[in-house]
Amino acid sequence: MNITYDYYRIFYYVVKFGSFTKAAEALDNSQPNITRAMNNLESQLGVQVFYRSRKGIKLTREGEMLFKRVNIAFEQISLAEHELEQTKRMDSGSVKIGVSEIALHEVLLPVLAAYRRDFPNVMVQITNESTPSAIKSLKNDEVELALVTTPININKNDSLSCENLCEFTEYPVAHKMFGIPDNKEISLKELGKYPVIFLSKGTATREYYEELFRKKGMDIKPNVIAATTDQVMPMVKSGLGIGFVPESMMGGNVTVIKLKDKLPKRLICLLYDGRKPQSLAAKELIKRLRSM
């Protein structure tokens, strides 16, 4: 069967109001048009769905079977329209973000504070991931946005769009027990003589520092491996080695080491799938990230 949606819509209103005339008024139509549409519906279905009684229009058993399904369909359509209206007003909705720790502290948290105040009913789900992991999650549709640090490896054939949001600098920090003067500059080669804390392999930060030392002809082997950037400062404060952190994640009671070879700035980038439309919640967040 290929029955027009309008016939079912008219059928729904006739049953709802119990009258062809009242259904016509609700639909801003004429009673003869409503009657004609219902006759066509019965003809195409091959069954009678209405009969007249002293109390008005009544459903046949077949009509009751049909309305049971049509009613559910129209309730779902009405609910969907209501939800879409709420989403347009940002009274509901959700956005899921894959974010690396540095990007979380440097960019996302300050932006999210205002975003949540303005749109308290939008659910924001954050997954803590390394840069490669966040990109993989984005490709697999597990997150809608990724906020990560460089270096970033994206295949040219990928549909991912990448926008640079801001720069940040990391600094080597050490426990005072190492006796490194905070007013003396040292080289990376000198730094390599001390125990070093790195992140796990497969992270953008690990890749960045291995390449940095490699360019200086150094093959640095970490003495301690941290699973996350948040773990680096507690390890440094415990005297386990020298770590590299942005200023926003530093704490007290450590020596910030001055380097002769200044560390290159890194980037925090926003990634999303350019082929797919973003949700309204994601679009608003992207707008705020761009204007930070």
Residue 286 vs residues 116, 144, 166: alpha-carbon distances, Å? 14, 11, 14
Q: What is the mean pLDDT of residues 167-190?
A: 91
Last residue of a domain, one of 55, 89, 123: 89
Helix axes 109-118, 280-290, angle to 10 degrees: 130
How many Å is the Cα radius of gyration of the chain?
Answer: 31
Confidence of residue 285 (pLDDT cuts 50, 70, 90): very high
pLDDT digits (tens, 9 = 90+) for 21-37: 999 999 999 999 999 99
- Residue written as token pair 């005072």: 176
pLDDT digits (tens, 9 = 90+) for 120-165: 999 999 999 999 999 999 999 999 999 999 999 888 778 899 999 9
Last residue of a domain, one of 71, 89, 107: 89
- Specify the number of domains making up the chain: 3
For residues 145 and 275, state if they share a domain: yes
Is 68 strand, coil or helix?
helix
* Lookup: tokens for 12: 């729904």
CATH of residue 58: 1.10.10.10
The whole-number pLDDT of residue 220 equals: 86
For residues 279 and 222, state if they share a domain: no
Q: Output the DSSP codes for 120-180.
A: TTSEEEEEE--HHHHHHHHHTTS-SEEEEES-----TTS-EEEEEEEEE-EEEEE-GGG--
Nearest one of 231, 224, 177 to 197, comparing CA atoms: 224
The answer to whether the CB of 153 falls within 8 A of the CB of 226 is no
Range(s) of the domain holding residue 58: 5-89
For residues 114 and 252, state if they share a domain: no
